[in-house]
Amino acid sequence: MIETSVSHEGIDDYGPKVKRAVLKYLKDAAQVGQNVALEEVPEDRGTLRKSLAQFVPQERDGSVVWGVGGQPQALPMEYGTDPYQPPVEPLLEWSKRVTGDEGLGWYVATVKIPEEGNDEQPYLRPGAEAQREWLLNHDISEYIQDID
């Protein structure tokens, strides 16, 4: 699982209304990050997008988290890879889906990836950056003032 999180540690000494306000503030920020990640996520079959969309921002172990769960391609898509010898068949299937024939798949499997690796296609990092920007530009006191 790949997650991005913001901790709400240190609010345990406050009352439940303040805790709820802080949690709402952090969840709103996380939603902004997730929305940007959903706009940026690379798409072939849509498995990363679906996983990202299903993992709604949630509180877990003192943090508000969002991310991608159970997708082995998540990190290689985010950060790229060093050169390696990939399995050919999945790339041939991909090439047929994308171009209608296997030519591009053969090139990617035998030249591009073995010589250059996979290019990074960041989607989580732009989401995390949008979340940080949102937190910097929104005052938590507005959330606390709005509590019942």
Give the HSE-up count for residue 130: Cα atoms under 13 Å, Cβ half-sphere: 19
Rounded-to-integer distance, Cα 103 and Cα 106, Å: 5
Model pLDDT for residues 68-93, shown as the tens digit of each residue: 888 899 999 999 999 999 999 999 99
Res 7: pLDDT? 65
Does residue 3 have a pLDDT over 70?
no
Q: How is residue 23 written in tokens?
A: 């949690």
The pLDDT assigned to 15 comes to 82
pLDDT score for 88: 96
Q: pLDDT per residue over 45-61, tens digit each?
A: 889 999 999 988 998 88
Which pLDDT tens digit goes with each residue over 93-108? 999 999 999 999 999 9
Please, what is the average pLDDT of the chain?
90
Mean pLDDT value of segment 117-128: 96
Q: What is the pLDDT of residue 20?
A: 86
Per residue in 4-26, pLDDT (tens digit) is: 666 666 777 778 888 888 889 99
d(CA 64, CA 7): 6
Per-residue pLDDT, 13: 74
CA–CA distances in Å: residue 103 to residues 84, 96, 113: 19, 8, 14
